[in-house]
Amino acid sequence: MKSFFEALQWLNDEILMALHEALRFLELDNWWLANIISWAFIIICCYYSWYWVKQLQLHKDNNEENQDTTAHSFLK
């Protein structure tokens, strides 16, 4: 069981956080470039959040959303 959690740690540290590590090292060399990349990711996330909310509003306006309180069995 210990090796399973060590594998998860390795996956997180070496694979999933590779971009964050690259940005951390880039900041030491070029602060402006690191911040431009960070702001680009922030702008992309804001755009797709806005798009998602817009699509939710379209579905609500077309009455395609089930807002009945008994839509889920645990709410009966």
Domain containing 12: what range? Answer: 2-63
- Residue 68: inside a domain: no
Looking at the 3D structure of the chain, how many domains does it have? 1
Q: How far apart are the first and last CA of the chain?
A: 41
- Residue 69: inside a domain: no
* pLDDT score of 5: 95
DSSP conformation letters of 23-76:
HHHHHHH-HHHHHHHHHHHHHHHHHHHHHHHHHHHHHHHTT-S---TTSSGGG-
- Residue 26: inside a domain: yes
* pLDDT score of 76: 59
- Residue 38: inside a domain: yes
- Residue 73: inside a domain: no
pLDDT in tens, 8-51: 999 998 899 998 888 889 989 999 998 999 899 999 999 999 99
* pLDDT score of 49: 98
pTM (two decimals): 0.60
- What is the distance between the alpha carbons of residues 75 and 62, in angstroms, rounded to a whole number? 24
